């Protein structure tokens, strides 16, 4: 009876270890999936660049052919903002470019903005044009592509600094049709840029709670003169 009891206890112990091993296996598998999709933000996932150029398929978008049109790149000196559609006014472009340059000088983050309406886009040509690397965030604004105006491609180094769900929150806040159809696509882009500027600067300074959900707010209030001027 004793041997039988020991046998039963051993059997139970093995079963417990097997179940624990299975749970660990499932957990590791799930963590691997999260890691693989770590840069998935908003509708476009972390592949916003590829999606914006028609190389990927999203739930909200039909499969589209890839685009590579260097002829649509700006002539002359390189610029961090390309507006193929006239989404922004010249004064807005100037002020956004000033903010982008200052952010890069201060934090090292290279923010690049592409306003397009597929298939009128330079597409894959921007990768070499902007030298997209691990310190680059590309914001693609396209009102037709996925139903959400804003999509992001985030470099690995930025992904390690900024909370991974931040980009999806920005996209969900300012890229949603309910926002940009009411406030304007230009306002959505400006608010996104302003939010990124604030978030990354706080992260760089080590501010606790930087980029938290409550920090993503429209910047066109009267008290926020630095960013509200962008809307004029």
What is the rounded distance in angstroms from the CA atom of residue 80 to the CA atom of residue 110?
9
Give the residue-averaged pLDDT of 130-134. Answer: 96
Q: pLDDT for 213-227, tens place per residue? A: 777 878 654 334 444
Whole-model pTM?
A: 0.73
Q: Given the structure tokens 């939010």, which residue do they identify?
A: 195
Q: pLDDT for 113-122, tens place per residue? A: 999 999 999 9
Q: pLDDT for 154-198, tens place per residue? A: 999 999 999 999 999 999 999 999 999 999 999 999 999 999 999
What is the rounded distance in angstroms from the CA atom of residue 46 to the CA atom of residue 154?
7
Name the band, by pLDDT with cuts 50, 70 and 90, for residue 50.
low
What are 74's two structure tokens?
């700006």
Name the band, by pLDDT with cuts 50, 70 and 90, for residue 231.
very low
Give the residue-averaged pLDDT of 110-130. Answer: 96
Name the band, by pLDDT with cuts 50, 70 and 90, for residue 139.
very high
The phi, psi pair for 30, rounded to 5°, reads -65, -40
The three-class DSSP label of residue 59 is coil
Strand partners, 193: none
What is the rounded distance in angstroms from the CA atom of residue 183 to the CA atom of residue 171?
15
Look at residue 68 and tell me whether its pLDDT is greater than 70: yes
Look at residue 210 and tell me whether its pLDDT is greater than 80: yes
């Amino acid at each position: 009876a004793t041997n039988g009891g020991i046998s039963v206890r051993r059997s139970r112990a093995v079963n417990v270890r097997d179940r624990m091993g299975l749970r660990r296996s499932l957990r590791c598998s799930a963590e691997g999936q999260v890691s693989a999709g770590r840069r998935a933000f908003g509708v476009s996932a972390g592949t916003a660049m590829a999606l914006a150029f028609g190389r990927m398929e999203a739930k909200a978008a039909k499969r589209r052919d890839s685009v590579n049109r260097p002829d649509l790149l700006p002539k002359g000196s390189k610029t961090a903002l390309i507006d193929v559609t006239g989404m922004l006014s010249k004064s807005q472009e100037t002020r956004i470019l000033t903010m982008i340059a200052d952010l890069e000088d201060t934090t090292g983050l290279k923010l690049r903005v592409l306003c397009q309406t597929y298939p009128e886009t330079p597409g894959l040509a921007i990768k070499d044009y902007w030298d997209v690397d691990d310190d680059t965030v590309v914001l693609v604004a396209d009102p037709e592509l996925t139903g959400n105006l804003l999509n992001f491609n985030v470099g690995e180094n930025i992904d390690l600094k900024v909370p991974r769900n931040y980009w999806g929150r920005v996209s969900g806040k300012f890229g949603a049709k309910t926002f940009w159809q009411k406030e304007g696509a230009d306002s959505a882009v400006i608010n996104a840029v302003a939010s990124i500027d604030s978030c990354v600067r706080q992260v760089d300074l080590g501010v606790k709670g930087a980029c938290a959900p409550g920090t993503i707010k429209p910047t066109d209030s009267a008290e926020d003169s630095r960013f509200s001027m962008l809307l004029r």
